[in-house]
Every structure is written in structure tokens, then in C-alpha cells.
Amino acid sequence: MRYTRIMGALTVAGAMLASGAAWANDKIVMGTNWLAQGGHGGFYQALADGTYEKYGLEVEIRPGGPQVNNRPMLAAGRLDFLMAGNLLLSFDNVRNGIPTTVVAAFFQRDPQALMAHKGKYADFADLTNAPTVLVSKDGQFSFWQWLVDAHSFRNEQLRPYGFNLAQFLGDEALVQQAYGTAEPIYAKNEGAEVDTFLLADQGWNTYSTTIETRRELVEENPDLVQRFVNASIEGWYTYLYGDRTAAYEAIMAANPEMTVEKLDKEMAQFDALGIIDVGDALEMGIGAMTEERIDAFHDLAVSSGIIDEGAVDLSLVAVTDFVNKGHGLDIKARLTGE
């Protein structure tokens, strides 16, 4: 860990858990970044199948949504953990002196993508010839700058995306941003076949679905952080490779717009795009992250003009002590028979 050493406490906590010591249930509130969906499944799995309880945790998952911004709730102490998007948000917290840090990265690749009508453009590079690219306001100040800098997209192409497929469905030449496991499915449901170009395949090397907490909690109660991370990792392995029924029921209870069919399609897309159990996670376990990769994405953000050189103290962005231990690989082996 870059800013404090906590391994002694983690070793003691691990020994107590391994020996079967009983934990008093600790109440935890975790916020997500949107309404309950398949991409939150591992956390709902750990809640629904008793994994959090096994680790002595009483967890409440508090969904985000179009009218809910959970981000400020973490620093204010109303959340204990927050499911964030990509590392740019964490860089921004550090730049603004907000005392939070990343403790795990559950998606090895960001599902952010560009979407085009099937066959309209030959490949990703050909998208630079599209007359119009719809990008949200947040995207315009993040990945769009990288697309212009690194891939020769042009600001003349840019138009605002209002998270509605109507424009895209009505114009076959149009390209728009997409979350790789969402808009392509919605477009297909409307009868439009699409090509999905994942930005991660083009060098956008951020982690996604990171888990943030307050530095204070890391320093004062690292065993609690470790238990939450371990239980969440186990939830994700079970969700990916075991029986998802309990998680699906919990997700649908939290978000009645979800159905088993929708969740199955979403998870099939996660698998097809290679988002979660890939890369370092294959050897180091789900949740894995490295300082080298965080540094590399920081360099990309600086070179693209997304953030200023020297604006972010990288030593405060993340703590890798809670992951990279291969936790949960035994569960995967048991469930898959590999």
C-alpha cells in the first residue's frame, strides 16, 4: 500500500477468519452507480446467498439511478463502499482532496463502447468517417478527448447524447456511445443489428466497476475492508459460474424493470466482450489491480489532455493490499471443474 502499511492487521484478520473465529455483524452500506442490473450481480449474489453474512457483515446495497447520485454520500460517511465507474472518477477525487481510495477493481476492462449499425463501417478506424457521433456530456470530457487525440476523431463529428436511442434508430450513418452490455441489447430489441466497438480493445486501459471507500476506513478498520472485498469476490465467482437464481431475484426485487431474460442477455454480453474474469484476474483473482496499470491509465489521461500533469497524487488513488491474492479461485475451480 502506497500511503500506509496495513499488512499486519490483515494477517491477523485472515488468521481469525481461517480459524473460524466469530465476527460480530458489522453494518455496511454499499452504493452502486445505477439501478440494479446484471453488472451488479456479484454483489447481489453475496448478499442473497449469505456470503456477506458468513463474513460477519450486514450489508445494504443502495442503488443509484437517474435521480440519485451516490458519489458524495461516500465522503460524507453515509456510504461505506461505493461502486464507481472507471479510474477517472478516482483521479478526480484525489485532485479535489476527497479522502477516498480504490480497494478493488471488479471489471478488468471498461464496457464503454461506440456503437454503429451493423456493416455500416468496416472497422473502428472507419468510425472517424461517420458524420455524427453522439457522446454524453461526461464522455465529452473523458474518452472523447482520447478518441480525438489517439484515434483521429474530429470535434466536428460530436453531438450530445441524451441516453435515448431514437436518433440512432432513425439514422443508419450515426454512431453513438454505448455501454457494451446495455445499448447494443436495447437496439437489437428494437430491431436494429449493431456492431459494438469496445474502447478497451483500442487502448482505453482503465479498470471499471471499482470499489471505493474512505481512507479513514482503510487505516482504522482494514479487516472490515478485507472481509467486504473477499465476500464480494466470492459473490462474483458464484454469480459467474454457479447458480445465479438468488442474485437474479434480488436484482429484480430492487429493479422491477429487470427480467430473467434481460439479465441473461446482459451476462451473455459480458462474457462475449471479456469484461470481468480476464487478464490479471485469471491468475490473481477477480478484483485484481496493479499500480503499474493505474499509472499507465494516468499517463493516457494526461497525454490526451483529460487531466493535467501533476494534478493527481497517484499514491492516494488506490490500495492493492486487499486484492491480487487469488482469493476465490478455488470456488471457480470447483464450479467449473477446471
Please give the average per-residue pLDDT across 214-231, as a whole number.
98
* Structure confidence at residue 337 (pLDDT): 93
Q: Is the pLDDT of residue 185 over 80?
A: yes
The answer to whether domain 7-109+206-336 and domain 112-202 are alike in fold is: yes
Range in 14-18, 159-163, 193-197 the model is least confident about: 14-18
Q: How far apart are CA 119 and CA 194, in angstroms?
A: 8
Q: Is the pLDDT of residue 14 over 80?
A: no
- Grid cell in block for residue 46: 453475496
What is the 8-class DSSP label of residue 320? -
Q: Is the pLDDT of residue 13 over 50?
A: no
Q: How far apart are CA 285 and CA 263, in angstroms?
A: 24
C-alpha 39 chain-centroid distance: 8
Task: Kindly report, residue by residue over 24-78, the tens digit of the pLDDT.
Answer: 689 999 999 999 999 999 999 999 999 999 999 999 999 998 877 888 999 999 9
pTM of the model: 0.91
Task: Kindly report, residue by residue over 234-291, the tens digit of the pLDDT.
Answer: 999 999 999 999 999 999 999 999 999 999 999 999 999 999 999 999 999 999 999 9
Class of domain 112-202: alpha beta
Task: Kindly report, residue by residue over 77-88, the tens digit of the pLDDT.
Answer: 999 999 998 999
- Rounded to the nearest integer, the mean pLDDT of the chain is 93
Please give the average per-residue pLDDT across 90-96, as a whole number.
96
Could you name the CATH architecture of 7-109+206-336?
3-Layer(aba) Sandwich (3.40)
* Structure confidence at residue 24 (pLDDT): 61
What is the 8-class DSSP label of residue 298? H
Range in 7-21, 153-167, 224-238 the model is least confident about: 7-21
| Confidence category of residue 215, pLDDT binned at 50, 70, 90 | very high
| Confidence category of residue 338, pLDDT binned at 50, 70, 90 | confident
Please give the average per-residue pLDDT across 213-241, as a whole number.
98
Write phi, then psi, for 244 (nearest 5 degrees).
Answer: -90, 5
Q: Is the pLDDT of residue 10 over 60?
A: no
| Confidence category of residue 4, pLDDT binned at 50, 70, 90 | very low
Q: Where are the domains of the chain?
A: 7-109+206-336, 112-202
Q: How many CB atoms are located within 10 Å of the residue 123 CB?
A: 8
Contact yes or no for 195/125 (Cβ under 8 A): no
Q: How far apart are CA 209 and CA 42, in angstroms?
A: 11
- Residue 45 CB burial class (10 angstroms; 0-12, 13-18, ≥19): buried
Please give the average per-residue pLDDT across 329-336, as a whole number.
98
Q: Is the pLDDT of residue 312 over 50?
A: yes
Task: Kindly report, residue by residue over 111-130, the tens digit of the pLDDT.
Answer: 999 999 999 999 999 999 99
In the chain, the percentage of residues whose pLDDT exceeds 70 is 93
Q: Is the pLDDT of residue 22 over 90?
A: no
